Structure 1
Amino acid sequence: MAKPKKLKNGMYSYRYKVKSPISGKWIDKYTTQFTAQQCYDAEIKAKNDALMGISPERMLLIPFFDLWVDTFKKGIVGPDHLGKINATRKSLIDFFGKDITLKSIDRIKYQRWINHMGIDLNHAKKTVSDKHKIAKAMFTEAIDSGYLYQNPANKAKIIGRDTTGERKKTLSIEEWLKLKEVILSSEESASKYISLIMMYLGTRFQETTGLTKKDFDFKNHTLSINKAFDYKRTKKNTTTKTVNSVRVVDLPTDLEIILRDYIAKLDQSKKVIKLHAPTNDYLFTNDFGEPITNAAINKYLAKKCKLAKIQKITSHAFRHARVDLLVLAGSDMIYTQKQLGHKDASVTLQYYSTLNQDIRDKNKLITEEFLKSIDGGL
């Protein structure tokens, strides 16, 4: 992708292409602006202008999808979610082609796309659901823009491969304690401390690997989550998954003691290796001074789960377990949502929906005690 070029007079020159949704031909465009961002804004406006005045019957699916992404997603969502958006775009093209209009996609055609992913391609139900949510949001914007009257994604039945037995999603209290003891007694490594942080706090893997000493506020017993490490692409810090992911997390006393000791040892031995810039003092690195990969942490957890004699999990299970632990502790849903960095409580409820046995037993006991209290009062 071309970037704006700074001119001698301080302004920026930018060349880009706009595809006509009618002819399908690419048109060269040029603009000169005071800033690089203004150049990008001009490109988005040009794409929008190319679509203006086109009747709903002639508006094509993919050009509108691209405009929606450029306007509402780029620079706002993280690289992982943008990857899911691009995968959804490819799936729509593979099934519908590039020449289908927005208005020609009704609920039946949309459901056939869902069925194709879930049955023909054997995608996991979660994968189908992710693509559905992205497509539905795009169609909602098409309605707001006046190109559609109804959303074909409404009431779609999500199908796909059941992965319930393929991957354990959370941990019971007993499993959590067993695994914690195994990890605590294991050899010193980046994986050990990354696992402990994720166990206690439910942070995402990329958020945890990007942590530096400056992110910890031991005076106020908190941890600031304000970035993520992009281990897949740039090998540098990037934005968090969403703007809502930026948050301040409370540090449990046990974890704080462990981390204080770990950081003190690092300071003493001067083993914190600086990468790229002096501000990137990553705390948890491999032998080459680089943050470890998600594959490495999951391989580590597989070994520790085996030692703990529990079913194998991936690091993402810690986020589900964190929600369960906060619920069992009596934390309200808003606090739980903010600690996990979810956009709203409905996302947190999806994590809580597993309803493990510990939560079930707690609520059963509460209900029984309540019934006893009102029965005794009659």
Structure 2
Amino acid sequence: MSEVKLHRYFDDWMNLYKKDAVREVTYRKYEMTYRQIILLAPELRMCDLSRLTYQKLLNDYAETHERQTVMDFHRHIKSSLIDALEEGIIERDPTRKAIIKGKKSGKHKTKFLNQHEVQLLLDHLSLDEGVNWDYFILLITKTGLRFSEALALTPTDFDFARQTLNINKTWDYKSQEAGFAPTKNLSSMRKIQLDWQTVIQFSQLTKGLADDKPIFIRSKIYNDTVNHYLERLCKRADIPVISVHGLRHTHASLLLYAGVSIASVARRLGHSNMNTTQQTYLHIIQELENQDNDKVMKHLASLI
């Protein structure tokens, strides 16, 4: 087997298979995995890889990271080692039956708001001052768009006659030279139905704006800037503080509670498959299933 060190193989692998094949933000995550391998196992060679040495690497990483982060770390390395196995660089898959651990999750922000809290938030928006972050927050709440998708919107993306919004690009706000970028995946390219109030509001808002220019971009944008603004709005409305991404979760949860199918919610969010939707909103789905079971039992009990 190869005497090459694991971090060296992983570096070569990600440059060969991932560079320019995945989005820049995704590639940076592979680079983070590479740096962590150097930090935790600088001398670990491919020929020394076994289930024991690999599990130790995962356990060392898990001491300072939460379980989901450890899972991502594991997936990156596993992908490279599967290729190494196929190429004959290693003889066995050391990642087989790996146990994913992680430190206890810290206190997280509220993931989504209930309908009453959403209404309180919307009541505190200022929607009579032209383009502002209040309109941005309103739109994500009503559509469930990703942050980068909402930033990329131009007036031509709105079809007011058909009451739809066309999602076909994102705004690469994380790079130095920010600009339009592809969507996260093919499923993210979609048309979203809009309610009539949103149609009226944005048909007025976009009048006179350049058709091919982002509506909300005026200068360099940072996710934290909008999150801090939303935090102030939440405090003013006396509701739990939520992030912009939390508004996307809020949109999905309200639809699920309203009885919208998982398949429809998945398409609206631009998920590549329903499994993602089911995993993300498992607690809500289980709650709704319990309510359905109660309805089923009451119905069956009424049959005499």
**TM-score normalized by the length of structure 2:** 0.87
Q: How does 1:186-205 map to 2 (within 5 A)?
A: 188-205=130-147
SS of 2:139's equivalent in the other structure is: helix
Q: CA-to-partner distance for each residue in 1:150-204, whole Å, 9 max, x for gaps?
A: 24164322313413x2321122222222222222568555311211121122211
For the 8 Å contact 1:136–1:153, the answer to whether it is kept is no
Aligned to 1:282: 214
For the 8 Å contact 1:105–1:152, the answer to whether it is kept is no
Q: What code does the residue aligned with 1:371 have?
A: M
| Aligned with 2:100 (options 132, 151, 157) | 157
Q: 1:300 to 1:162 in 2, by over 3 A?
A: same
Q: How does 1:54-203 map to 2 (within 5 A)?
A: 56-58=1-3, 60-97=5-42, 100-119=44-63, 122-148=64-90, 149-152=92-95, 154-163=97-106, 165-183=107-125, 188-203=130-145
| Aligned with 1:207 (options 114, 136, 149) | 149
1:371 aligns with 2:297: yes
Length, aligned pairs only: 302
For the 8 Å contact 2:124–2:233, the answer to whether it is kept is yes
Supply the RMSD in Å over aligned alpha carbons.
2.7
How far did residue 88 of structure 1 move? 0.9
Q: CA-to-partner distance for each residue in 1:277-299, whole Å, 9 max, x for gaps?
A: x94x11013xxx22632111101
For the 8 Å contact 1:143–1:150, the answer to whether it is kept is yes
How far did residue 354 of structure 1 move? 4.0
Q: 1:232 to 1:151 in 2, by over 3 A?
A: same
CA distance in 1, matches of 2:67, 2:23: 23
Query: Could you list the runs of 5+ residues in structure 2 that have no partner in the other structure?
Result: none
Aligned to 1:50: none
Q: 1:218 to 1:73 in 2, by over 3 A?
A: farther
**TM-score normalized by the length of structure 1:** 0.71
1:236 aligns with 2:214: no
Q: 1:185 to 1:262 in 2, by over 3 A?
A: closer
CA distance in 2, matches of 1:232, 1:70: 21
Higher percent of residues as helix: 2
How far did residue 303 of structure 1 move? 0.7
How far did residue 312 of structure 1 move? 0.8
For the 8 Å contact 1:81–1:241, the answer to whether it is kept is no
Q: 1:78 to 1:251 in 2, by over 3 A?
A: farther
Q: What code does the residue aligned with 1:150 have?
A: D
SS of 2:244's equivalent in the other structure is: coil
Q: Which has the higher contact order (CA 8 A, sep 6+)?
A: 2
